[in-house]
Structure 1
């Protein structure tokens, strides 16, 4: 396939997609392809559009200049995002990609409004555009090129987890529908002498505006902070749990400062009977390996656990009560300390966002149940929401 050939020619070490350097190469290739293809389509559509007097073709051609500009923005964003962190920006420049996505979205909105104004003017002053076989051939060629570009941008965008490339692929998909509509309209309008050119331009404007909305929404969500992807959560948790001596994990928090600049923290449970120096050496090794293999800057909080039949029994009992209240509640870090005739039971608990119940009400209910069943219990619960959304990382 053409995309495989281009990747082999341009991207060294193409399988190391988590490497910032490799990711930048992928981004450069996709962006350059977008610039070249969109400029070719623009030249063809605008030239033929002027020849036959079609506002719809000219509008779609101008739209491709903006698409080329969007690809140029993505090229710049990959280059800026690859800059090394400095004293003023210790978390790097990865979020430049998100900021430039917002700029791209605003550019799409401006273009949509301009085309919309021209479309309304053409609807109010209708003109019949004569049928032209040349225009149909140009539009079909443009559609074919856009289909390939959509597939290429979508593939690389998913491969390197790039919001701006995914945004460009989404915008390219809307272009395909727009080109198809304009082509059909040109044929029908030309053959039956119908003044549909203004309506076709109106359709193009709506598609551009819709793409702009999706691009803007995705960029803002990423800047505000969103739930980490299931793939990233699974990769971190699976790798950390693979080490001998890790008894469990919880409280994973991921901070996304842009591709290649991901910071995370996690609590790792270790056997309290193991020498603390050995456990510390273990978590140090895990942090280094996660950085080397996943390109995530992970900080580990070490939680010593007393692992015996009594603690396992206490955990199972607490977990059973919590699950009876809500099956999606997670319980961890259960401790039971004897204090005279009473037992101080403490544990952490996460309530999913899918539950509309107040966290304090949930905690009080579970505390009341445990203390009613076991009058000698003094229950203390540290409850909150999961920063991994509804993704479970603790049994």
Structure 2
């Protein structure tokens, strides 16, 4: 199984506000669809291999069927990760997805290193020329089916904020690249059967792209498993949300922490001194809802509303006592 290229990254997740029950249902259905299509493609590639005697289809078919094992693990992880916070896991179970993503990405990286080493050190095989046109047609069908599946999984992953689904979409994109290699090999079987180096070149390019992507995902997952400040992007988004609120005159304090991937937000804002309690509550609730809808994995938002000038008054008093 070989993966595909993309200019997008998981930081582009939209993070819509979706109940965990609905999120789990969408993720599970999407993974089951992915597993079903992968299984059908795997069997089809094995059948085509028996007819054409092309070992590339044997490798692809066996790889797709073997990939059902981590897919089942991924499905289980998505369902467990959707559980709500309880006394055992105060910040929810979403970090289980992050933990699986870490090992999943490292496993893909190791596989890519092995594939790259084998590709570079082993001379490319001469493919049978009798099934050139059939290889082209079959590869085009694979590319069309995988492209539709990849688009659906990627959109769902962005919608529910699931990096595991986004990772699965990346794997399918590499499958598309693999089908493209088969397509090109079929074309060369028709026009120039003796040229085999193109297969090695394309495999190395695709493998290097996936290796870099997997290592980057592993690093990001490891950071999320450590209690630390979230990424600068998350902090910038939250700051922008608060500053874009018309009633907010000043942000006197902002503390944002990441607990195993779950983000905790603590903000103190200053507003008009004559604001009523109900209006202050409305502003705090609005900020909470907007932050949750635009930032992934926010476990809590605490907002304190003070009258304008409170921060300066406190600083002046502290300066007076220190002096």
TM class by shorter-chain length?
0.7 to 0.9
1:127 corresponds to 2:129? no
Structure 2 unmatched ranges of 5 or more:
1-15, 293-297
Partner of 1:358: none
The answer for the alignment partner of 2:159 in structure 1 is: 159
Matched, 1:264 2:265: yes
Q: CA, structure 1 residues 247+288, in 2 after alignment: closer, same or farther (shift >3 Å)?
A: closer
Q: TM-score, normalised by structure 2?
A: 0.72
Is 2:305 the counterpart of 1:306?
no
Alpha-carbon distance in 1 for matches of 2:217, 2:66: 14
Q: Which has the higher contact order (CA 8 A, sep 6+)?
A: 2
Structure 1 equivalent of residue 254 of structure 2:
252
Q: 1:287 to 1:298 in 2, by over 3 A?
A: farther
Q: 1:32 Cα deviation (Å)? A: 1.6
Q: For the structure 1 residues 32 and 338, does the alpha-carbon distance in structure 2 shift closer, same or farther, using more than 3 Å as the test?
A: closer
TM-score w.r.t. structure 1 length?
0.61
Deviates more, 1:26-35 or 1:214-223: 214-223
Residue 357 (structure 1) aligns with: none
Which of residues 205, 218, 221 is equivalent to 1:219?
221
Match of 1:185 in 2: 185
Give the 3 Å change call, closer, same or farther, for CA 39–208 of structure 1 in structure 2: farther
Tell me how far apart the structure 1 counterparts of residues 21 and 237 of structure 2 sit (CA, whole Å).
19
Q: How many residues align?
A: 297
* SS of residue matched to 1:88: coil
**Conservation of the 8 A alpha-carbon contact between 1:52 and 1:130:** no
Q: Secondary structure at the match of 2:232?
A: coil
Q: Kindly state the Cα deviation for residue 269 of structure 1 after the two structures are TM-superposed.
A: 1.6
State the distance in 2 between where 1:55 and 1:210 align: 27
The structure richer in helix per residue is: 2
CA contact (8 A) 1:236 1:290 kept: no
What is residue 381 of structure 1 aligned with on the other side? none
**CA distance in structure 2 between the aligned counterparts of 1:231 and 1:60, rounded to whole angstroms:** 43
Unaligned 5+ segments in structure 1 are 1-15, 308-332, 347-377, 379-395
Q: Following the alignment from structure 1 to structure 2, what is the Cα–Cα distance between the partners of residues 21 and 212? A: 29
| SS class of match (2:94) | coil
The answer (yes or no) to whether the contact 1:26–1:156 under 8 Å persists in 2 is yes
Which of the pair is proportionally richer in strand? 1
In structure 2, do the counterparts of structure 1 residues 173 and 264 end up closer, same or farther at CA, with 3 Å as the change threshold? same
- 1:270–1:121: structure 2 CA closer, same or farther, 3 Å change rule? closer
Alignment partner, residue 170 of structure 1: 170
Deviation at 1:266, TM superposition (A): 0.6
Which structure has the bigger radius of gyration?
1
Using the alignment, how far apart are the partners of 1:122 and 1:63 within structure 2? 19
Provide closer, same or farther for how the CA distance between residues 169 and 217 of structure 1 changes in structure 2, counting only shifts above 3 A: farther
Q: Choose 291-300 or 51-60, whichever is displaced more.
A: 291-300
